[in-house]
Amino acid sequence: MILGILKESGTENRVAMLPGEVTVLKKMGIEVLVELQAGQTAFASDDSYVAAGAVTVERREVISGLICYCQLILL
């Protein structure tokens, strides 16, 4: 399975998933694609996602290469 994490738009400072959760998913055998700078406003660098086992890529590559994606939806 491939899971994608996209950068939030507008003034949203959160990210759908932090590097700690990526580590858990990798242990479960799930590949994780993270849009470049997705965690920047949540103080999670691209390097921290890579260290957790994710692959950081451009937005179009996340969308074209995934099976499901994570994004915050505020109710």
75 within domain boundaries: no
Q: How far apart are CA 48 and CA 40, in angstroms?
A: 10
Number of domains in the chain: 1
**Dihedral sign for Cα atoms in the order 63, 60, 64, 48:** negative
Say if 58 falls within a structural domain: yes
Segments forming the whole domain that contains residue 28: 2-70
- Does residue 31 or residue 63 have the better pLDDT? 31
Q: What is the pTM of this model?
A: 0.84
- Say which amino acid occupies 7: K
Residue 46 is assigned to a structural domain of this protein: yes
Q: Could you report the per-residue pLDDT of 33-55, keeping only the tens digit for each?
A: 999 999 999 999 999 999 999 99
Q: What local confidence, expressed as pLDDT, does residue 67 receive? A: 54
User: Where residue 14 sits, what CATH number does that domain have?
Assistant: 3.40.50.720
Measured between alpha carbons, how far is residue 62 from residues 24, 27, 55, 75 in Å? 19, 20, 9, 25
Asked whether 68 and 6 are in contact (CB, 8 A), the reply is: no
Res. 23: pLDDT tops 80: yes
Sign of CA dihedral 16, 18, 24, 28: positive
Q: What is the pLDDT of residue 9?
A: 84
